[in-house]
Amino acid sequence: MTYHNPFTPPRKSATFDDFTLAEIRRAAATGIYDIRGAGTKRKVPHFDDLLFLGASISRYPLEGYREKCDTSVVLGTRYAKKPIHLKIPITIAGMSFGALSGPAKEALGRGATISGTSTTTGDGGMTDEERGHSETLVYQYLPSRYGMNPKDLRRADAIEVVVGQGAKPGGGGMLLGQKISDRVANMRNLPKGIDQRSACRHPDWTGPDDLEIKIMELREITDWEKPIYVKVGGARPYYDTALAVKAGADVVVLDGMQGGTAATQDVFIENVGMPTLACIRPAVQALQDLGMHRKVQLIVSGGIRSGADTAKALALGADAVAIGTAALVAIGDNDPKWEDEYRKLGTTAGAYDDWHEGKDPAGITTQDPELMQRVDPVAAGRRLANYLKVMTLEAQTIARACGKNHLHNLEPEDLCALTMEAAAMAQVPLAGTSWYPGKGGF
Amino acid sequence: MDASVKRESLEAMRVFDLASTPLRELNSALHAIAPGTNDTNFEVVNPRGSHAVAVGIDQPVTVNVRGSVGYYCAGMNDGGTVTVHGSAGPGVAENMMSGTVVIEGDASQYAGATGRGGLLVIKGNAASRCGISMKGIDIVVHGSIGHMSAFMGQSGHLVVLGDAGDALGDSLYEAKLFVRGSVKSLGADCIEKEMRPEHLKKLAELLDRAGVKNVRPEEFKRYGSARKLYNFNIDNADAY
Ligand SMILES: Cc1cc2nc3c(=O)[nH]c(=O)nc-3n(C[C@H](O)[C@H](O)[C@H](O)COP(=O)(O)O)c2cc1C
């Protein structure tokens, strides 16, 4: 009898998948870890895993387009003499001049200003263009202190002490030499063409007690006018929020692991930090335990893409959200119209993340004078404003359907979760049940 | 001094007693000075270790602090002359832009951190991380400095008449370090460098401005960056 072996298809390992194998080969060939921009690319529990319940017999909705649904937010009501009034609860996150081109920064300022919201400087200081084009500008106080000076502190509308970022809690940064133009080098007091490390810790304070004194100093320098934010990466949101409040923050900015970065090690982006969804409830709990919810405002960022994400973050207790990556996409980042050029760089529109190399075909994450010409700051600013308007309308649509006349009236009771993980992280019931993991009554 | 002259100078001097006056009044008075006014002589008594004394000065005022201060005295000073007749806590003259800050006693850690200009003189010793991340400031320490001083120093000069602790100038960029005594150890990428005539000249000028007498520039050694870590190279990873 002849034995015939039937065909079995070749089987690839789930553990050693194609991407993993390629990464091992890349590491073996180069001896260096992968550095890239953007946020985590793996799938983690996110706002998509939550749904709104909408009004029904027990709650009645508001009329779309007719009944008012307020979107305004005031930030910095705790100590600042001049709190910030924004028309929408969506702010533009801190992204450095250096990582981004001048026209890109200008576009962000223009778009934010049209929309009545704030934009934020970044590692590398404040430029005149940015100040000029941003009606409300938050000035970051970072460990590197590149470009830090009291004049810019005074002409800022708020100050954001950056402790960490969601993409890399506990990590510093690196702007590679190829992106250091004369202007960037000059603003940072460093020679041109060398890699610029951004320290992971502040040079002149460690721990919450020092931070309290540091915040006091910044208030004294600016005569107690400006709101002072403290930005933390999503690591220990309950304690970080509580300590920031204790140190005297007016506003806490909490950036989950999906948050974008200009350039960080891939291993860091993918393996350190907690998903945004998991960060919000502990932070809100800390504020509530201290009697500070709504007195110290909470801004949440990391993977916010739509009005639905915004509404969900607010329903969980945030006062506002911040966007980085989405704002860059709105002004033209990763646009398929540059596909031919993405191909030449060995990538494709939507996947391009070598932002640290300064070759961005869209002219956004570059200091190349020719490439950055591709960003028309007026048109790009307009696109950002359109996008922010859509996000706001989306959030209002949902809030009205839940019967709320202000986005801040959204609450966890308006939500259910699609997965056990999301139910546990957001502490809202699994759809169709009245239970979430961690809640008693099993 | 002639009695009438003395009275006049006393009248022109504004005294803030921090035992009875809130710090806020001092700092807001300093910030309220209009350019070109004569009313620029300030005296602070009973500082009692207060934090953020005389911060954010942006006019050429003179401030004498009679006693010791806490954190961040003269922070972000831009053009003022601040003298502390006592010792200073952490971060004295942090991020100074211009002007002069003199500490008659000792200074705690992070003295002159991230300073971008001006002159900081410490007549006693300075603790660890003196001149950390300095960006153009000149610092002269009559005594010794602690470990990790001038860490990631970008530019400016750090002059030490005494000794330096461990890991001096770790990850240094272009700041120039001059030490007269011993250096316990050098940090990553920091090396001793040749003292050239232009360095001796600069050193002489700094010593003079810092009121140092009877010390010759030739007694110092110069340290600076080997510039090996300027662009990431995997073969240098062991240095970190
Ligand atoms: C290009 C780029 C540059 C950034 N630069 C900074 C920075 O200088 N300081 C900072 O605190 N965060 C920086 N971030 C992080 C953002 O402030 C924000 O936390 C993050 O982008 C939010 O997540 P999202 O991108 O998913 O919206 C940067 C992000 C990007 C995408």
- CATH class, range A35-410: alpha beta
* A194 neighbourhood in chain B, CB within 8 Å: 173, 227, 230-231
Q: What angle do CA A282, A285, A288 make, to 5 degrees?
A: 160
pLDDT tens sequence for chain A (442 residues): 678 888 999 999 999 999 999 999 999 998 888 899 999 999 999 999 999 999 999 989 999 888 999 999 999 999 999 999 999 999 999 999 989 999 999 999 999 999 999 999 998 899 998 999 999 999 999 999 999 999 999 999 999 999 999 999 999 877 767 677 888 888 888 888 787 778 899 999 999 999 999 999 999 999 999 999 999 999 999 999 999 999 999 999 999 999 999 999 999 999 999 999 999 999 999 999 999 999 999 999 999 999 999 999 999 999 999 999 999 999 999 999 999 999 999 999 999 999 989 999 999 999 999 999 999 999 999 999 999 999 999 999 999 999 999 999 999 999 999 999 999 999 999 999 999 998 876 5
User: Could you tell me if the ipTM is greater than 0.90?
Assistant: yes
Residue B9: predicted pLDDT: 53
* Distances in whole angstroms, Cα of residue A161 to Cα of each of A73, A297, B3, B26: 20, 15, 51, 25
Residues 6+ apart with CB under 8 A from A60: A403
The number of the ligand 1 atom at minimal distance from the alpha carbon of A121 is 8
- Chain A residue numbers with beta carbons less than 8 Å from the beta carbon of B69 are none
Q: pLDDT tens across A109-133, in order?
A: 999 999 999 999 998 899 998 999 9
**Ligand 1: centre distance to CA B24 (Å):** 35
The partner residue sitting opposite A223, judged by closest CB among B31, B90, B231, is B31
Across the interface, whether the CB atoms of A221 and B136 are under 8 A apart is answered: no
What pLDDT does A174 receive? 72
For residue B70, the chain A residue with the least C-alpha distance is A213
Determine contact, residues A335/A342, Cβ cutoff 8 Å: no
Chain B stretch 91-110, residues whose beta carbon is closer than 8 A to a beta carbon of chain A: 91, 94-95, 97, 110
Share of chain A above pLDDT 90, in %: 87
pLDDT above 70: percentage of residues in chain B: 92
Please answer yes or no on whether A190 and B174 come within 8 Å at the CB atom.
yes
What are the angstrom distances between the C-alpha of A254 and each of A251, A272, A305, A392, B44? 10, 15, 16, 20, 40
Q: What is the mean pLDDT of residues B214-227?
A: 97
Q: Is the pLDDT of residue B138 over 90?
A: yes
pLDDT reading at B188 higher than 50: yes
Q: What is the pLDDT of residue B2?
A: 46
Q: Do B56 and A177 touch (CB under 8 A)?
A: no
Q: Map out the domains of chain A as residue ranges.
A: 35-410
CA distance A230 to chain B (A): 19
Chain A positions touching B78 (Cβ under 8 A) are 149-151
pLDDT value of position B181: 98
Q: Report residue B3's pLDDT band, with 50, 70 and 90 as the boundaries.
A: very low
Tens digits of residue pLDDT in B140-186: 999 999 999 999 999 999 999 999 999 999 999 999 999 999 999 99
Confidence (pLDDT) at A267: 94
Number of other CB atoms surrounding residue A261 within 10 Å:
28
Q: Which chain A residues are within 8 Å of B31, Cβ to Cβ?
A: 223
Where helices occur in A196-251 by DSSP H, the ranges are 207-221, 237-246
Q: What is the pLDDT of residue B239?
A: 57
The preferred substitution site among A95, A137, A305, A356 for testing ligand 1, maximizing ligand atoms within 8 Å of CB, is A95
pLDDT at B36: 81
Q: Measured between alpha carbons, how far is B20 from A221 in angstroms, rounded to an integer?
A: 21
Please list every protein residue whose CB sits less than 6 Å from any atom of ligand 1: A 37, 39, 93-96, 99-100, 122-123, 140, 162, 165-166, 231, 255, 258-262, 301-304, 323-326, 355, 365
Q: Which residues contact B71 (CB under 8 A, 6 or more apart)?
A: A210, A213, A214, A217, B51, B52, B89, B90, B91
Closest C-alpha to ligand 1, atom 10: A94
What atom of ligand 1 comes closest to residue A160's alpha carbon? 11
Is B135 in contact with A189 (Cβ distance < 8 A)?
A: yes
CA atoms within 13 A on the CB side of B173: 25
Per-residue pLDDT at B1 exceeds 50: no
Q: Does B174 touch chain A (CB under 8 A)?
A: yes
Q: Cβ neighbours of residue A312 under 8 Å, at least 6 residues apart?
A: A47, A50, A52, A415
Establish if B165 touches chain A: CB-CB under 8 angstroms: no
Q: Which residues of A touch B (CB under 8 A)?
A: 30-32, 144-145, 148-151, 153, 174, 176-177, 188-191, 193-195, 197, 199, 203-205, 210, 213-214, 216-217, 220-224
Residue A307 Cα to ligand 1 midpoint, Å, equals 19
Expressed in angstroms and rounded, the spacing between residue A169 Cα and the centre of ligand 1 is 12
> pTM to 2 decimals?
0.95
Question: Minimal Cα–Cα distance from B3 to chain A, Å?
Answer: 37
pLDDT digits (tens, 9 = 90+) for B106-136: 999 999 999 999 999 999 999 999 999 999 9
Q: Which CATH superfamily is domain B10-229 in?
A: Glutamate synthase, alpha subunit, C-terminal domain (2.160.20.60)
The DSSP code for A87 is S
Instruction: Tell me the three state secondary structure of residue A362.
Output: coil
Could you give the CA distance from residue A299 to residue B180 in angstroms, rounded to a whole number? 51
* Cα-to-centroid distance, A37 and ligand 1 (Å): 10
pLDDT of residue A190: 84
User: Which run of H or E residues covers position A379?
Assistant: helix A377-401
